Amino acid sequence: MSKPQLSVVKIGGNVIDNESALQAFLVDFAALEGFKILVHGGGKIATKIAESLDITAIFHEGRRITDRPMLDVAVMTYAGLINKDITAKLQALQNNAMGFTGADGNLILSEKRKNAAVDFGFVGDVVAVNADLIQVLLLQNVVPVFSAITHDGKGQLFNTNADTIASTIAVACSNYFNVNLLYCFEKKGVLMDSENEESVIKNLTFEAYRELCEQKVIHSGMLPKLENCFDALHKGVSQIGIGSPEMLKKDNSIFTLVTA
């Protein structure tokens, strides 16, 4: 008996920042057939809110360091403002959306990031996903909307990379579903030339990826996302796409299909 189809879609902050772009994306997401899950970030909005509160955002090599004040902002922004705004907009599009952090229903358990060189503060790395409960929600026709907040099971919340949340949810749910993982962001896909928006790599295998890495062709900011992709494929995810929100439209073929 074949598994039902599940789409796990991650949307980046550059779309969330733009009201009209977000609405257009949500219309296409709401129209997706089959079971679906949305995972969102929202770092730029968190940074703006932090600045309005005289809290300075701290980064190390492009990754946010989350101290106690910044954790409060992240929880308010991701789990509150952005998550509930998206949930309400999906309800208006006749999708029965329900917003979650990892702490809700013990859906995503994390541990504090272990890094000998840098202390990222209250940043968590995913340990476990409660796929059993996610399956129950999906079968009740709920559309889960996950913010980038998880917990450690001991009362501590963590800021967590949304790309990683999407891939770990996709892997965990692959026991029950045929999972299609989609990363939507501001580019049309993985580019051969970061200066040329039209240089989309249509199909990227692991072997081709390694060759392009050696040639230093792929932009460094894309590497963690692609590592997540190949790890997810290795662990049971059926198919992964990377591209702009247009990727959700049935007639769009310009995006990067990542395959093992």
pLDDT of 118 reads 85
The mean pLDDT value for 49-72 works out to 88
Q: In which domain, by residue range, is 57 found? A: 5-182
Q: Is 161 annotated as a binding residue?
A: no
Q: Does 52 score more than 90 pLDDT?
A: yes
Please check whether residue 32 lies inside any domain of the structure: yes
Q: 74 lies in a domain?
A: yes
Question: The whole model's pTM is what?
Answer: 0.94
Q: Are 182 and 241 in contact (CB under 8 A)?
A: yes
* Local confidence band at 73 (pLDDT 50, 70, 90 cut-offs): very high
Return the bridge partners of 149, or none: 159
13 found inside a domain: yes
Residue 189 lies in a domain: no
pLDDT beyond 70 at 203: yes
pLDDT at 116: 63
Q: Is residue 223 part of a domain?
A: no
In a domain, 124, yes or no: yes
What residues contact residue 181 under an 8 Å CB cut-off, 6+ apart? 8, 10, 166, 167, 170, 229, 232, 237, 239, 240, 241
Check whether 42 is labelled as a binding-site residue. Answer: yes
Give the mean model confidence (pLDDT) for residues 12-31: 91
pLDDT at 110: 98
Task: Specify whether the CB–CB gap between 97 and 143 falls below 8 A.
Answer: yes
Q: What is the mean pLDDT of residues 2-13?
A: 93
The least confident of 34-38, 73-77, 238-242, 248-252 is: 248-252
Q: Identify the sign of the CA torsion 221, 197, 168, 141.
A: positive
249 in a structural domain: no
**Amino acid identity at 130:** N
Asked if 73 and 46 count as a contact pair (C-beta separation under 8 A), the reply is: yes
Q: Is 43 annotated as a binding residue?
A: yes
Residue 102 resides in a domain: yes
260, pLDDT greater than 90: no
Structural domains of the chain, count: 1
CATH number at residue 65: 3.40.1160.10
Interval 129-153: pLDDT, tens: 999 999 999 999 999 999 999 999 9
